[in-house]
Amino acid sequence: MQQRFIGKNILVTGASTGIGRAIAVRLAQEGGNIAVNYSRNDVEAGKTAERVRAAHDAGGYANAKCNLHKADVSQEQPVNDMIGEILANWGRLDVLINNAGIQKPAASHESLTADFDRILGVNLRGCYLCSRAAIRHFLSREGGGAIVNNSSVHEIIPKPKYLSYSISKGGMENLTKSLALEYADRGIRVNAVGPGAIVTPINMAWIDDPVARGEVESHIPMGRAGEAEEIAAVFAFLASGEASYITGQTLFACGGLTLYPEFRVAWSSGE
């Protein structure tokens, strides 16, 4: 395992489960101090903290730290308070991972305004609020900083019946690029990861159902869903100094889903 985050202070939002937990553990395996954000589930957040501490112990990082921060990322004051607490505890933040995200299916013409507001609130407003607070801090001291957003293949692929989710990830592409351009000359890099279908709680609808899972995986050129750890590895790269000349990009980690899988066989040219 590499050691790219020794002495770095990292906030991972929505880290009580799924990809967020895997990112927290991965960055801890590389020596990072991890602030675990979560909105509701104290038990699952505690499990993430346990795994982070186990990763620190296994790596021999005796001085590495892990703190829990309960805050709804869609709410301005709790976000500002959370960043304030991290700075009060550790004096500095180096990396922000905007991972928190939700979705809910509905035919678009029957969808509820309240659900639209909630999904955009967590996925996009939350990303804005956390990024703004982090950038204010990055600009206040030397050394810049890195932000990595958890987007989706649905940043560029439409997702019928998940309109709010699709819009939030499409917006995240522009948020990533606009912030990257605005702060590129001040040592702040802003990138995103675009996962495909990953085995996490957000996909409970098909993960444990062999028929449904087979259907999902039949659409993926690599023939399988991804693991959270495979996504966490991409976050670790983009958050690290190894990606020092990369900003404003979304790196898709999706088993080929963005490659127009329907074109695996020629059907449009007569052969």
C-alpha atoms less than 13 angstroms from C-alpha of 210 in its C-beta half-sphere: 0
Asked if 255 interacts with ligand NAD (CB under 6 A), we say no
Q: Tell me the residue type at 113.
A: T
Closest CB to ligand NAD among residues 200, 247:
200
**Per-residue x/- marks for ligand NAD, 184-223, CB under 6 A?**
-----------x-xx-xxxx--------------------
- 8 Å CB contact between 37 and 71: yes
Query: Residue 206 CB, nearest distance to ligand NAD (Å)?
Result: 10
Decide: residue 271, CB within 10 A, 0-12 exposed, 13-18 middle, 19+ buried.
exposed
Helix axes 113-120, 163-183, angle to 10 degrees: 30
- Set 128, 165, 183, 245: catalytic member: 165
Contact call for residue 19 and ligand NAD (CB under 6 A): yes
Q: Could you say whether residue 16 binds ligand NAD (CB under 6 A)?
A: yes
Under rule CB under 6 A, residue 24 binds ligand NAD? no
Q: Count interface residues toward ligand NAD (CB under 6 A).
A: 27
Active site residue 165: yes
User: Strand locations in the chain, DSSP E?
Assistant: 9-12, 33-38, 66-70, 95-98, 145-150, 188-195, 250-253
Taking residues 149 to 168 in sequence order and writing x for each that binds ligand NAD by CB under 6 A, - otherwise, the string is -x-x----------------
44, 127, 53, 230 alpha-carbon torsion, rounded to 10°:
90
Facing residues of 147 across strands? Answer: 96, 190
| Under rule CB under 6 A, residue 134 binds ligand NAD | no
The answer to whether 172 contacts ligand NAD (rule: CB under 6 A) is: no
Q: Please report whether residue 82 would count as binding ligand NAD according to CB under 6 A.
A: no
Write the DSSP string, 69-103. EE--TTSHHHHHHHHHHHHHHHS---EEEE-----
Q: Is 32 in the site for ligand NAD (CB under 6 A)?
A: no
Dist. CA 254–CA 256, nearest whole Å: 5
CB of 38 to ligand NAD, least distance (A): 6
Kindly state whether residue 14 participates in binding ligand NAD, applying the rule CB under 6 A.
Answer: yes
- Nearest Cα residue to 11 out of 122, 105, 146, 117: 146
Q: Which residues bind ligand NAD (CB under 6 A)?
A: 13-14, 16-20, 37-39, 72-74, 99-102, 122, 150, 152, 195, 197-198, 200-203
- Residues taking part in catalysis: 165
